[in-house]
Amino acid sequence: MLQPMLVLGTVEMAGDLVLRRLCKAKSKEQALIVMDYTGLLASRLSRINTAGLAAQSSLWLDLAHKVRPVSIFRFRQGQHLQALLVAWLRRCAQEGQASLSQACLQAVAQLASQLCSAGTVGLVALATSLRRPELTAAFRQDVAIAAELDAAASLLEWMLRFPAVWALSESNNTLDLAAAVRSGKVLWISMPHAYMQPCERRLVGWMAELAIAQAVLGLQNEGAPALQMLSVLPPSLPLGVEVRAPMRQIVLLNLDPSRALHNVAATWLANKADVWVVGPVNTKLSMDKHTWLPADQCARVEQLQAGQVWVISGKNQTGVTALTKYTPIEHSVAHSWQRLTLGRLSASPARQFGWSPTLSVLSDAHQGLYEKLATHEILLAGWMRVRTAQKYSHGIDRVTVDQFGTELDSALLQLVDELREMRYVARPLRTIRLPKPDGDTRLIKVACVRDRVVQAAFLHLVEPLFDTRMNPRSFAYRPGRSAHHALALARSAIHAGKHWAVVADIKKMF
């Protein structure tokens, strides 16, 4: 493993510097992997700091993309597979609060190795196989492990309820990472955290790390040039698998003067990694949080300005100030890189566009819905949906949304009493006739604000139960879906050879 490097600074300044250096030093045969856990580094891509790298030599993988996802998490036979799987499963078990022994983890890894002896295997196949007695008979001779194998299957099934986890393992678009690394491409893996749940983001990050580790370790005996890997980490995401292979690893972290460094940084500093601190800092560092930095160097770092870098040697801990040039970005080429890759991918079936995966299975938590509806908290959630309407909108009682909000607490308490005592009755609808362009009129029925609050609260309770079971080709008035998803599915049908489209409208629907 080559000498690692730790880069501290903002994505704007430090990211620009690291990208420019890596792209300039990249040879045609050498692969470059960028693992952006934040999704922010793409804004620093330009023709200048990519040293003229052609978009055709890159592969862009957006792990949060729901329309055209890519599967890179497939188990492939190799001498490092079982060790990697055990480390990965241990992380996932901790995240899913599953108690699995070391013997169980090794049994699952051994079963996965056996399944992929003639090809590749994903999470669905592994979870299904763990439930098959004929495939796990050798492991189930131990009663303790037999019970844990069912728990391991439940853990994998829980993980697969997350859309990004399912897509990374089971998408119809598959990518051979080893082949991409062997061809010397720039492999850009982006994980925009705003589009994933925190737990989902951690699981997907560990899956991507295992896939990269498996690809890199499988090539270490082929004599390929040592590749470089840049990881952009948020402070809350721990790394799962350490890859000891012929590669140069660079980690980019934001330097927070008042907080201690990320645990990954602490580990690398103990392994004598080279450190770059990219200015500007312009603030005093907390010495009790940054004990890794000698006092004499701490003063120098605090004075760093834009265009200055404090370089610390991992071998002898000496530091020196270097000058660098900052490149203002007028136009990012990230979109063109991403569009080129997406053009090669097929649209995925839309089943994964469902609501929160943690709610996709009925449980005891979904019982007693009426009792939950008759609570102040759920009615308040309904009000939060209604309050976004026009503030002067009203029903037959002429109470506007704005007026209802001024007496919110008393109005909600009154609704709670009526619901609990079974006295609640919806009021008649206000009728509005709106002229249509063809001279006809459209009949609109408007409910009172109080009734809208109850209806929205009820929707808040039942929507997660039904949305995941609705037709995957339905996109109207559903959370997390839009016309863009419908268009993607239509394009997929066209590419599949479909030629007819039916346009229908239900008369007087509203």
* pLDDT tens digits along 155-200: 998 888 888 888 888 888 888 888 888 887 888 888 876 677 778 8
The fraction of the chain above a pLDDT of 70, given in percent, is: 85
Higher pLDDT pick, 37 / 419: 419
Tell me the sheet residues that pair with 228.
32, 248
Q: Can you say how many angstroms the Cα of residue 44 is from the centroid of all Cα atoms in its chain?
A: 20
Domain 5-71+183-342 has what CATH class?
Answer: alpha beta
Q: Where in the chain is the domain with CATH 3.40.50.300?
A: 5-71+183-342
Letter for the amino acid at 482?
S
Residue with tokens 């994903």: 122
Section 191-211 average pLDDT = 82
The answer to whether the beta carbons of residues 87 and 241 sit under 8 Å apart is yes
The answer to whether the beta carbons of residues 392 and 402 sit under 8 Å apart is yes
Cα Rg for the chain, rounded, in angstroms? 28
DSSP letter, residue 13: I
Cα–Cα distance measured from residue 430 to residue 262, given in angstroms and rounded to the nearest whole number = 59
- Distances from the Cα of 493 to the Cαs of 67, 487, 496, 498, in angstroms? 13, 10, 5, 5
- Distances from the Cα of 201 to the Cαs of 7, 179, 204, 322, in angstroms? 23, 26, 5, 36
Cα–Cα distance measured from residue 282 to residue 9, given in angstroms and rounded to the nearest whole number = 12
Residue 239 pLDDT more than 60?
no
Letter for the amino acid at 291?
T
pLDDT at 356: 38
DSSP letter, residue 174: B
DSSP letter, residue 196: S
Residue 285, both tokens:
């560092």
User: Which residues, including other chains, have CB under 8 Å from residue 234's CB and lie 6 or more apart?
Assistant: 37, 38, 193
